[in-house]
Each structure stands twice: as structure tokens, then as C-alpha cells.
Structure 1
């Protein structure tokens, strides 16, 4: 984006915010607009508000809860200094990031939201950050009346059908990251050079071939842990279910991993658990085999190291994560491990079971106890809509973190990742229109995306909100059992796999699993009726 376009949109956005601060229109019609909406269009749907409620004369500090480890090289502070200078000028506000670090992140995040602390902006996600559960606990402020006035560009940018997927009890609980193209389907990142060395000449598409790859590493790469897995993670079971069933995970949180799925895309309203059929037994046997062969550390259940860092250092042969991570790591590995030819085995490749990402995989909410919700939305609007602020939050300082060439981003000469790296982990409102293409993107990215587009199915549960009230006690007990018993099964440390699985199932049943699944089915039936009646 050239400077003239940046300036034009920046002026339009500033005018929009200024106009909305004095607007007192009462229209509440919702319209969908394109990028670059003018101030007049954006405020045409402004909510009724009195000027006194929109006074920005008081300088306010806005907090933003982000997931991730706080950067330690000083670059983050330099970027935020620039961001806050702009925010002071345009919204008389300052942004402070409140980090929820990765160590025990899920517990810390949910405790923060349950504490009642008056945080302002909050990174949310309905599929991995318990958004609906937290909404049921009253963690978020309804945004319906605030958005048209304090974030008018975003209000118009998000179409009505997308706003519908952000509602709990018919109130908007979050702003979706619905205008950003990404794939977060999971799989194994593995070294293509080593795979060829072990006689694996075609892309890996199943777990049996992945086992052959691991055995090659074990036999021929001394000092390398085939999969230096973190024993607190549970991506392997979800991945295996994705590879060997047609099941689609439901947004019903049962702790370390989810137990209840929709049977298939054609039977999306039928509650089903692969934990209670042969799928989980087959998985447990494979993990026992892999563990016995030494594909991970003997003390895997106590290991909390950084698998990705080990891959980058040549000390591990895989990492388990999603497509977007693979695309970034592909570039890094080309530099850190020249010739590694990093490849990706998406779990969906085994049987083409690929569902598009929910538009609420990323989003932003306002804390229920926020003292400055109006100003918080103004700040959010600037981060999402103002190109200058957006580029700072996502890329850092031009000339330090990146340089521009032919409309694309490149690393500056002499860039040092330890010294110069920057991230803000803003995952709650990225938009394609404000992205600057990465000039170092992997050349195969387009083909990979195209292969996904050929087989993807739309996510069917965007508007399904599970109400746990009727099974709250059972859900608590089941979540505890999953956390206590499952890790040993997931990494082959529970003894005989069949016995371990049967014991696990028995405990789940005793805790009320059947009642839980019946309640899920009841709510799916009601959801199906609602969906079909709206067609």
C-alpha cells in the first residue's frame, strides 16, 4: 500500500471517529461495506448516544489481553511507543498489553477472566479459548449498542450473518477476525531431506508412514529426538481422529482434549465420541508402540520444553501445529537448517476430512468490568482499520523489522532474529486489506491453499453455543478425569493400551459421560431445527 493510500484511509478513519463522537443519529440498520468506507457511510448506522458519553478529554489507558510470552529484546517497547503516540493523537488513549504467557496458559487465561479484573480488550476464540463458556459466566460486555458508534468501520465491515455467529443469548460478545485469510488445520511439520534419505519419496499422508520416518530418525540421526513432544499437549489425539474418522469436533470443552464430535459432515447433528469406539484403542496402541520405540523422551509426561526450538536447532525431526505455523517455519528452517526442505502432513490428508476454520477462531471482546469500553472500541478500531497502526502492531518498525520492495515485506540487511524480532500476537482483528505481502513467502503456499479449497467443507457449528448448565457437575468431573488419566495414554505410558482405555472409559461413564452426551444431542437437535427453519 503506497503512502498516498495510507494517508487517505487514515484521514477517513480519523474523520469517522471524530464524526461519531458527536453523532446523535438513531438509525440502527446494519449494512455491509467494502474496505475504504468513507466517514459518511460508516456513521450512517451510528447508534444513538449523547455527546457527554463520548467525551475523550480524559486520557485513558486501555488494556489488551494477549496470549503469548512477553518479548524480552526491547523491540516491543520501541514499537509500542510509536503506536501509543498515534493513539494519543487520535483517541487520547494509551495501549498496554497484558500477557498471558504460554506456561499453563489455559488455566491462567480462564482465571483472569473469572477474577472480575477490569480488563478492556480481550483476545478470544470460540474454538480454543473457551469463549462461550466464559460468556456464560458473564466475562464479556455486550457490544450491540457500542459498536456502531465507537467502531463504525468495523461495524459495517462485518456482515450481519457473521455478527450472528458472535452472539450469546442474542447479544454480540465479540468482534470476529472474519476478514483475514488463514488456515489453522493441524498436522506434522517434518524434514523433507531426512524423509528422502529414509526412502520416503512421496508426501507423508498417514501415521504409519510417519512412524517409518520416526524410525529412520531413531536409527540414523544420533542425538536427535524423533518427536520431542511436550507431554502437556494433546494434539496427537485430535490429529489421529481427524486422520481416521470423518468426525467434526464440536465446541464442547472437556479439558485437555474434546471428547464429543459430530459424527460426520453428513451427520453433523449426531453427537458421537471416537473415544468410545475402536479409534481410541487403535490410537492408544500406536502411541504405546511409538513410546516403546523411543520416538520421544522417556520422561515425556514431565517434559515442558519447546519442541519447535528443538526442530529449528536440528535436535528434533517434527513439530505438531497448523498450516500458518508451517508456512512461517518453512522460511525459518531454510535459514536455520539449510536444505531441510520442511514439509507438512496435514492430518486431514489421510481422508480429505477438512473443515474450514470458524470465523471466531480469533476475535476480540470487551471485559464485563471494563471501565473504558467506549475508548477501548475506539482503540480497537484504530488497530484494525488504520493502516499505520495496523502495520506497527503486526510487523513492527519499517527499516528495523522490515523493508519494502515492490509492495512486499523483506527483512532488512543485517537483521538478527534475537536482536530485532518483534511480535504483538494481535490475533483478534487482522484484515486482508491491511496486510503487506511477505516477499519471502514459501513458493508452494498458493498450491497448498488451492489443495485445501478443493476439499474443504464449511464449518457447521459457528452458531452452536453449548449451554452446560444442566451438566455442569458432570462436565467438571469429566474434565478432571481427562486431565488426570489421558496424558499417560496419549504418550504410551499407561501400560496395556486396551486396559488403560477401558479404565478411562469406565471413569468417564461413572462421572456422568452418558448424561453429558445426551445433553449435547438434545441441544444439537434444537440447533438443527433452528438452522433448518432459517433456510
Structure 2
């Protein structure tokens, strides 16, 4: 049973003093310490403050995030609202949109000025930089300091600095691994069947014999899972020895191992050409689905056993457990790049507050709770105990499926713990995962940081060019990176159109700002 921890405010106002004096001795003894309390304020803009959440005006918050549709979402929402009503006198409306429609829906809502409170945002989906540029997000600096001190304290300042645009924070970090290496995840049953040894592998090309065996012997199974909404090249820039600057897909990256930071058009590099050549060959051999560039969510097909592997997969401690929860299969993983903290990784998953929110203070109180209240966090991530999961080892926080229930029968298994709050408050998916949160924190602390960690590109001087090049990349990039089109025929056209759209001007502006940033640090 959850222990009730009412949230008190540390105020000196006479009204507060009177109420505290009137409280009974027993309640006074049960009051949380200052370090455990938060400071809720009426979201309607009133300056009056209250000692009890019930004294706050009731509000409903709206939260938009992507994922695979969940049958029992409403049940989870109802359970979350019991906690939120008690803690901050609010309720939450969870709006889970499928991966394929999420970005378009958010763009339409932001463009129309629709009123809502919270949304998932990142450089790779519901673009963080574009949201800031068009004024869709509120600056969070003061709100974090006042209403989310635990959230602020949990994340290193260097990571918060990575979110800043023109000196302001517009996204609350969903705290997890930031030193992310990239590689592959492969179904263990197939790896065992073909005696696949990942231990000595360092690049994707070495997977070809394994993929060929699957094509020859496992009808109905496609070796590689690629989809349109999570780009197969840009999100794993460190694998190619590069890092992004600003929007992941925008022209202008830099090489990590060069003594000087020199901005290049990543789509004109040998690394990009080698990658899309390989993807085209693999598509021709049947390792990738012919319609991969039009697929927006592979989850259901993966659960049905129609895929063998994820390539370009972010490898981290506990990844195998997350994959089993999401797909129902055991997996083996292997990193092909070194752990590195980059700006792109630091801000890879955030929660923003909409500029149209009528209750920004209460929205930030929700962010604080989803980062600090383990009951609330695990409800959103795993659902309801006894219905969607059971404890297999409660002392160690290990969960599994209820007895006799198959993964596809569970009404709530989003498998996106990394998308919400502080992942280090989460349960473990297996006994083998116990201790992975400590390992992840250690990895974050020990990893090398990119030389541009903390630099954030200001897109304002080239907003027009960014819009134009984004249109070009949307037209060509997914088709190239999934091997759907012949790169020898299409890449020259892609590069010509990028150039005409202003790619060179964008790269030059990035170089200028980087040079100024580096000079300012000397």
C-alpha cells in the first residue's frame, strides 16, 4: 500500500502559520522535511499559496507522447490520477499517439495554437529545435527551480546546459543513459539457432552471413527491422565517428576524432555513401522489407516474430530486459561504438510544457512527481500491479508477467521507460538486470564527453534554409537509409536539392557559431 506523503509548502505567510499552528500534533510529526517538500502554487496565476494540495484549484493536465496503442491506457490513467489528486490536486489526460502520426499531430496542434500542457520532444521526433524556433515551448528555468528541485538536482548541469537555446531551457530531461553506444539487438532464439557470436563483431557488415541464413531458412522473418519514424543514420552519428549539430537530420555535422571542429555536410561524406550502399545491397538481398521506408511502427510485427534484429540500436545496461518486455522475446545485444556523451544524446528524450498551457506551474509539478514518485513513474511505465505485471522479487524490484499470461495478451506494455521522468526509479525486467541502474549511472559518470557538449546551435539566422532542407530530407532520406532506392541514382539528386535549399549556408552558420562558442571558452 502506498504511503501517503502530503506535499507541504515552506512559506512564511500568516495564513500558512495559522494553519500549521492549528494542525494536530500527530499531523505535525508526520509532516515531511523541507528536503522532501515541494512548493505548489495555484496554476491560475494567483499569488495565494496553500499548505495542502486540496487547497489548490483542481485542474486537468493534458500530456501527448508517442508509442504503440495500449488497450488499458485508461485504467492506468485512472490509477495515476489517484496519486496526482492526492499530491497536487490534478488529474492527467494521457494522449498516446502512434509513432506514425505523432509528429504531424503535434505540428498541427502547435500551429493552430491548441491549448494543452505537456508533450514529448526530442531532436529526432516532434523536433525540439523546431518547437523552440516556432515558439511552441515555454522556457522552464524558473519553473524547474521553483517547482521541480529534485528533477533539477538529479541531472548534471552539463546536461541541462545541452538543452539551452539562447540561454534558456525548453525541455525537462528524462533522466537515463546519456553515454549511449550504438550497435545491434538480435533475437536470442535465432542467434542460438545459427550459433551467432557477437563478441568479436564491430560493424554491421559482419552480420551478413547470419542474415543470409535467416532469409534462406526462416520464411516470414525479415532480418532487419527498419522504420521511417526513427531515422537509421542520423540517430547513431557516433557509430560513424561523427556528431550532430542542432537538428539531427539538418545538414552540418562534425567528426569527433578531428583536432579541430570542422562542419561538413554529412550526406556528402564517404561514411554516408558507404552506409546507404550497404543498405541498398541488403534491401536487394531481402534483409530489409521492400516497403521499409513507409513503415511507421514495427512493434506488432516484432511481437509476432516477423523480425530478427534491430540495427542502429542504442545499447545500454538493461536493454535486453526492456526488449523482452516490449516484444516478448529474449535478446542479445552488442555495442559497435564507444560510449560518448554528446549534446544529441543528452537531449534525446525530454518533456516540454506547451506555450499554450493554462497551468504551467501544475504541469511542472507533474514533471517533478514523474521524476521523484516511484509509484507514479512505474504506473506510467509498467501499468497496474497484478494486472499488467507481478513482482517476481519485490525486494529487488524485479517484475514479470502474471502467471499464464502471454506478452501479447497484456493490455499495457508500452516498453518506453526511457520516455518518462527518471528511469533510475524503474523496476527491473529480470533478475539479470538487477544493478543495471547503478551500472548506467557509472557509465554516465565515466564516459568521455564530446568537445561540443553544451553547445547549442541557434537556428534563427537560417530558419528558412532549415525548413527547406527539412523538406528535402523528408522526401529522400528514409528511402536512402532503408535501401529502398538505388543510391547511385538518387544520392546526387538529394545532394543537389539540399544545396539548392541552403545546406551550405546552414553549415557555414553552424561553423560560425561553433567558432564563437569555442573562442568564448578560452
- Between 1:450-459 and 1:203-212, the stretch displaced more is 450-459
Question: 2:7·2:87 contact (CA, 8 Å) conserved in 1?
Answer: yes
What SS does structure 2 have at the residue aligned with 1:146?
Answer: helix
Deviation at 1:60, TM superposition (A): 1.1
* Number of equivalenced pairs: 496
Distance in 2 between the 1:128 and 1:523 partners?
A: 24
Q: Does 1:417 align with 2:407?
A: yes
**Unaligned ranges ≥5, structure 2:** 18-30
Are 1:308 and 1:319, in contact at CA under 8 Å, matched by a contact in 2?
A: no
SS at match of 1:100: strand
Matched, 1:14 2:14: no
1 CA distance for matches of 2:242 and 2:345? 16
* Residues 21 and 51, structure 1, Cα contact 8 Å, conserved in 2: no
Normalised by the size of structure 1, how large is the TM-score?
A: 0.78
Structure 1 pair 82/196, CA: closer, same or farther in 2 (3 Å)? closer
Any unmatched runs of 5+ in structure 1? 25-36
Equivalent residue, structure 1, for 2:332:
343
Moved more, 469-478 or 143-152: 143-152
Q: Give the Cα separation in 2 of the matches to 1:435 and 1:270.
A: 40
**Larger mean Cα displacement after TM superposition, 475-484 or 319-328:** 319-328
Partners of 2:149 and 2:257 lie apart in 1 by: 36
- Asked if 1:237 is matched to 2:205, the reply is no
Q: Partner residue of 2:505?
A: 515
Q: 1:201 — aligned with what?
A: 197
Pairing partner for 2:244 from 237, 246, 249: 249
Taking a change above 3 Å as real, the CA distance of residues 45 and 484 of structure 1, as seen in their structure-2 partners, is: closer
Cα deviation, 1:359-391, whole Å, max 9, x if unaligned, reads 432232221121111222223333322333333
SS at match of 1:141: coil
Q: Aligned match of 2:271 in 268, 275, 279?
A: 279
Match of 1:34 in 2: none
Q: Within 1, Cα distance between the matches of 2:178 and 2:339? A: 17
1:78/1:310 CA distance change after superposition, 3 Å:
closer
Say whether 1:133 aligns with 2:130.
yes
* Whole-Å separation in 1 of the counterparts to 2:442 and 2:37: 41
* C-alpha contact 1:481 1:507 (8 A) present in aligned 2: yes
Q: How far is the alpha carbon of 1:91 from its aligned partner? A: 1.9
Shift of 1:155: 4.6
In 2, the alpha carbon distance for the partners of 1:384 and 1:450 equals 16
Give deviations 1:480-506, integer Å, cap 9, x for gaps: 2222233333233434x3343223222
The Cα shift of 1:131 comes to 1.6
Alignment check: 8 A CA contact 1:21 1:149 kept: no
C-alpha distance in structure 2 between counterparts of 1:19 and 1:364, whole Å? 32
If the length of structure 2 is used for normalisation, what is the TM-score?
0.80
Residue number in structure 2 paired with 1:27? none
Q: Shift of residue 96 of structure 1?
A: 0.8
The whole-number CA distance in structure 2 between the counterparts of 1:279 and 1:118 is: 43
- Contact 2:292-2:482 at 8 Å conserved across structures: yes
Tell whether the 8 Å contact from 2:171 to 2:352 is kept in structure 1 after alignment.
yes
Residue in structure 1 matching 2:455, options 464, 475, 493: 464
- Displacement, 1:137? 1.6
Query: Of the candidates 508, 526, 531, which is equivalent to residue 516 of structure 2?
Result: 526
Separation in structure 1 between the aligned mates of residue 384 and residue 417 of structure 2, nearest angstrom: 15
**Residues 421-432 of structure 1: pairs in structure 2 closer than 5 A:** 421-423=411-413, 427=418, 430-431=421-422
- Residue equivalent to 1:31: none
For the residues of structure 1 that align with 2:272 and 2:13, how far apart are their CA atoms? 55
Cα distance per residue 1:177-208 (max 9 Å; x no partner): 23x44765443322455446556434332222
SS of the residue 1:98 aligns to = strand
3-state SS, counterpart of residue 94 of structure 1: strand
Deviation at 1:465, TM superposition (A): 2.5
- What residue is the counterpart of 2:22 in the other structure? none
Are the equivalent residues in 1 in contact too, given 2:67–2:99 (CA < 8 A)? Answer: yes
Provide the residue aligned with 1:378 in structure 2.
365
- The alignment yields a C-alpha RMSD, in angstroms, of 4.0
Paired position in structure 1 for 2:186: 190
CA contact (8 A) 1:176 1:429 kept: no
Deviations 1:144-169 (A, max 9, x none): 33344433443555565554444333
Check conservation: 2:137, 2:355, Cα contact below 8 A: yes
How do 1:75-474 residues align onto structure 2 when only pairs under 5 Å count? 76-126=73-123, 128-158=125-155, 160-178=157-175, 180-181=176-177, 185-195=181-191, 198=194, 200-203=196-199, 204-230=201-227, 232-233=228-229, 235-238=231-234, 242-243=238-239, 245-253=240-248, 257-267=249-259, 269-302=261-294, 304=295, 306-320=297-311, 321-323=313-315, 326-328=319-321, 331=324, 342-348=331-337, 352=338, 354-355=340-341, 358-404=345-391, 405=393, 406-411=395-400, 412-423=402-413, 427=418, 430-431=421-422, 434-442=425-433, 456-474=447-465
1:524–1:438 Cα change, 3 Å: same
- Offset at residue 445 of structure 1 (A): 6.1
